[in-house]
Structure 1
Amino acid sequence: MISSETIEGYLARLAARQPTPGGGAAGALHAAQGAALIAMVARYTTGAKYADHAEDVERIIAGADAVIPVAVRTANADEEAFAAVIKAYGLPADSEDNRALRTRAIQDALAQATEPPRDLINLAGQIIDLGHELAEFGNANVISDVAAASEAARAAIATAMITLEINIKAIKDAELQDALRADVLRAEQIIASADDLSSRVRKRVLA
């Protein structure tokens, strides 16, 4: 489980010639890091100087802190879901009945495998929203880390989006395909928001 291993151990597994963990898990960890960066900047935005924003800062800290463990669990879930897809593809196809069972198992596993990236888009979107708030008044000494958080969340969304696009091609359920296409469109919109956030922070840094 990613949540219980060292960074070195996780990276060694990620680099190994094995199917899991893969890009989806890496994307979820991008989101966790983005949330952690938002929480850090918010914690530096406290004290008398920021008294007018105290309630907003506490809410941002709570929101960012809540995303971190969920993102890590999403990394675990993505690894498990992809392993289930691989297992389904490995089922026997030596008879008509077995082929039918294999096809059903693959479709079920693929459908389940869409859940982590869909969750990841939501989580990363939350990070971007919190970042937009914090960019208005965050401590100037660490405000660049809001842009770093934005880029980490952007990477998470882009990773989730390509995963969904791959699954759309393989999934036969037309209703689910439509839902996934809607998620891809939403991901594109959040990526645009992430780009805007990074640009806003850069302008503030250079002002």
Structure 2
Amino acid sequence: MISSETIHDYLARLASREPTPGGGAAAALHAAQAAALVAMVARYSTGAKYEQHADLVTRIIGTADGLVVEAVRLADADQHAFQGVIDAYKLPAGTDGLKAARAASIQDALILAAKTPAQLILLAGAVVDLATELFEVANANVISDVAAAADAARAAATTARVNIDINVVAIKDTEARARLADQTGALEDKVILAADSLVKRVRERILG
């Protein structure tokens, strides 16, 4: 599991000629890093100087820490879901009955595999929202990490969307395809716009 291995071991597996982990897991770890950066900036925005914002910062720290855990869980979930797709394609198809069962298993696995990145886009949006809240009260010495968090969350969302797309095109259930496309397209656009806006504000604050 990604959550229990070293960075070195994870990267070695990611670089290997193996189907998992792949882009979906990488996207989830983008989001985990984004949330961790928000938590770090928030922790640097505590003490007497920031006392008037203590409740906000405390809430952001708690929420960001939780999002780190959830993002890593999604990394493991994505790896498991994609392995399910691979296993479904390996099912026997020697008879009409087996072919039908294999086809149904593949469709179920593809829909499941598309759900994890859909959840990840939601999580990425939550990270950008937290970073945006933190921006106004953040310690100026680490304000660049607010932009780093936004960009990492943006990467998580756009990568997750690509992973949804590659599964959706193989899903034959038109209703399921349309539902996934409708839910994730608008969310991804929202995350991108919010992240870009926040990065711009951070750069303007740095450069004066």
Shared fold per TM-score greater than 0.5: yes
In the aligned structure 2, how far is the partner of 1:165 from the partner of 1:195? 23
Partner residue in 1 for 2:204: 203
Q: Is the 8 A contact 1:92 1:102 kept in 2?
A: yes
Secondary structure at 1:170's aligned position in 2?
Answer: coil
Specify every segment of 5 or more residues in structure 2 that has no aligned partner in the other structure, as ranges: none
What letter matches 2:160 in structure 1? A
Structure 1 residue 114 corresponds to structure 2 residue 99: no
| Structure 1 residue 41: Cα displacement | 0.2
Partner residue in 1 for 2:63: 63
| Structure 1 residue 191: Cα displacement | 1.1
What letter matches 1:31 in structure 2? A
Structure 1 residue 185 corresponds to structure 2 residue 186: yes
After TM superposition, the structure 1 stretch with the greater mean CA deviation from structure 2, 180-189 or 121-130, is 180-189
Question: How many residue pairs align between the two structures?
Answer: 207
Partner residue in 1 for 2:149: 149
Query: Any idea what the Cα deviations from partners look like across 1:67-92, whole Å, max 9, x if unmatched?
Result: 01110010000000000000101112
After TM superposition, the structure 1 stretch with the greater mean CA deviation from structure 2, 88-97 or 1-10, is 88-97
After TM superposition, the structure 1 stretch with the greater mean CA deviation from structure 2, 177-186 or 60-69, is 177-186
The TM-score with structure 2 as length reference comes to 0.97
The TM-score with structure 1 as length reference comes to 0.98
| Structure 1 residue 107: Cα displacement | 0.3
| Structure 1 residue 96: Cα displacement | 1.3
Identity value in percent: 57
| Structure 1 residue 184: Cα displacement | 2.0
What letter matches 2:59 in structure 1? R
| Structure 1 residue 167: Cα displacement | 1.6
What letter matches 2:172 in structure 1? K
Partner residue in 2 for 1:47: 47
Q: Is the 8 A contact 1:164 1:184 kept in 2?
A: no
| Structure 1 residue 49: Cα displacement | 1.3
Q: CA RMSD in A?
A: 0.9
Specify every segment of 5 or more residues in structure 1 that has no aligned partner in the other structure, as ranges: none
